[in-house]
Structure formats: C-alpha cells, structure tokens
Amino acid sequence: MTGSGKTTFVNAYLKAERAAACRFIFDDLNRMWPRLAIPACYTLAQLEASLPSRWIAFNPLKLFPGDTKAALKWWCRWVFHCASRGPGKKMVVIPEVWRHCNPDTIPAELALLAQAGRELNVELIVDTQRPELVNGSITGAATELVCFKLIAGEALRAVEKLWADAGVACDRGKISALSLGQFLALNRLTGGTLAGRVF
C-alpha cells in the first residue's frame, strides 16, 4: 500500500549493490531521482552521458510528453541495447509497474527485459501497489518477492498465490498485519524467507 516502504527499499537496495555495472530507472513520476540525489535525464544525449556514473534516471516528459506507453517501450529498447554493450549486472527499475501492464497484456519490450536476466545480466526490479495487475511474464520470472503492508483483498489474494506457487504458506493475515516499513521477503527458488524493516 502507499507509504509502506517500497521505494525506500528499492533505493536502499540499489545503493547496497555496489558492484552493479549500471542502474537504469524509469522515473516518469519523479519518485526516485530526487531522493537518490542524482540528475534526471530528459534526452538521449543526457542518458548516454550519464552511463559512466552508473546511475541513470530517465524522465520521459520532454521526449514523450503525455505518452508514457511509447516512452517505456523506447526506454526498454535503449536499456536492452546498453545491457548488451558490456559485462556486469544491470539493475533495471520500473516503479509502479502495474501502470504498464495487466494480467492479459504487457508491452513486448518490457516482457523481453523481464526475461533477459541470465543472458544479459539484467536484474529487473519493480514495485507495485497492485500486485494483482502485474503480468505473468514478470511474476513468472521473479526470483524474489518482497511484500510490504497490504490491505486490499484482491492484492492479498494475488500475493498469497505467489507465495503458494513457491510452496511456502503465507496467510494474508501476516501481510496485512505488517507495520509501514516492515516487509516479508521470499526467495522463490529456495523457499527461503526473511523478515525485516526499512524504517
């Protein structure tokens, strides 16, 4: 739910992964670059010039005014191209990914990034207030799930299913009882769990 700590977690995670070759952030909502104290890139030249800093936040307002859909597709293709240019882990961040897909459809470019993991060393990191709207090509490829407080029934059902698919029981009461800032995390490959808090 809003204010539960998702963006705080993603920002902390990006900083903790010191060895990452590059971090790419689709920041159309200006939720991340001001908090990370990095510049926002508005043009292709600015994006390219930011690559050596390893922190690249894209705001599409100038290149794609009013067309977030076209912006995301274009940015995904650019990130994919960059990821194929060199070695090392590329962290790719899309805040509130439910705005860009639904259970039935997803832009091909985004699905490709979600699946690109091993081949290009791309790690896709998405957060969502609406887990029930995230497309299966993202949830299916996800290796870790970090759950913050949720109270909406549909969202809790979707999250419960993600845990159950990994063979770990997590009743909705545990997720709805979390405090703001607290999380329950699941490694979907090993079934390992972790409880923690970001504030």
Ligand X SMILES: Nc1ncnc2c1ncn2[C@@H]1O[C@H](COP(=O)(O)OP(=O)(O)OP(=O)(O)O)[C@@H](O)[C@H]1O
Where along the sequence are the contacts to ligand X (CB under 6 A)? Answer: 2-8, 35, 129, 148
3 binds, among ligand X, Mg ion, none (CB under 5 to 8 A by kind): ligand X
Based on the shown chain and the rule CB under 5 A, indicate whether residue 129 belongs to the binding site for Mg ion: no
Size of the site for Mg ion (CB under 5 A): 2
Q: Which stretch binds Mg ion (CB under 5 A): 6-14, 45-53, 63-71, 83-91?
A: 6-14
Cα gap 109→157, rounded to integer Å: 28
Query: Please, what is the end-to-end C-alpha distance for the chain in angstroms?
Result: 15
Question: For residues 110 and 155, which CB has a smaller minimum distance to ligand X in the complex?
Answer: 155
Least distance (Å) from Mg ion to the CB of residue 10? 8
Question: For residues 13 and 74, which CB has a smaller minimum distance to ligand X in the complex?
Answer: 13
Least distance (Å) from ligand X to the CB of residue 12? 9
DSSP 5-46: SHHHHHHHHHHH-TT-SEEEEE-TT-SSHHHHT-PEE-SHHH
Phi, psi of 131 (to 5 degrees): -60, -25
Least distance (Å) from Mg ion to the CB of residue 192? 25
DSSP 118-154: HHHTEEEEE--S-GGGS-HHHHTT-SEEEEE----HH
Q: Which stretch binds Mg ion (CB under 5 A): 2-10, 37-45, 172-180, 186-194?
A: 2-10
Question: For residues 7 and 59, which CB has a smaller minimum distance to Mg ion in the complex?
Answer: 7
Least distance (Å) from ligand X to the CB of residue 95? 7
**Cβ-count burial of 199 within 10 angstroms (0-12 exposed, 13-18 middle, 19+ buried)?**
exposed
Question: For residues 34 and 86, which CB has a smaller minimum distance to Mg ion in the complex?
Answer: 34
In this structure, the strands spanning 144-148 and 182-187 are: antiparallel
Q: Tokens for 198, please give them.
A: 């970001």
Question: For residues 29 and 189, which CB has a smaller minimum distance to ligand X in the complex?
Answer: 29
Based on the shown chain and the rule CB under 5 A, indicate whether residue 6 belongs to the binding site for Mg ion: yes
Least distance (Å) from Mg ion to the CB of residue 129? 8
Tokens 């029934």 found at? 153
Residues of this chain that bind Mg ion (CB under 5 A): 6-7
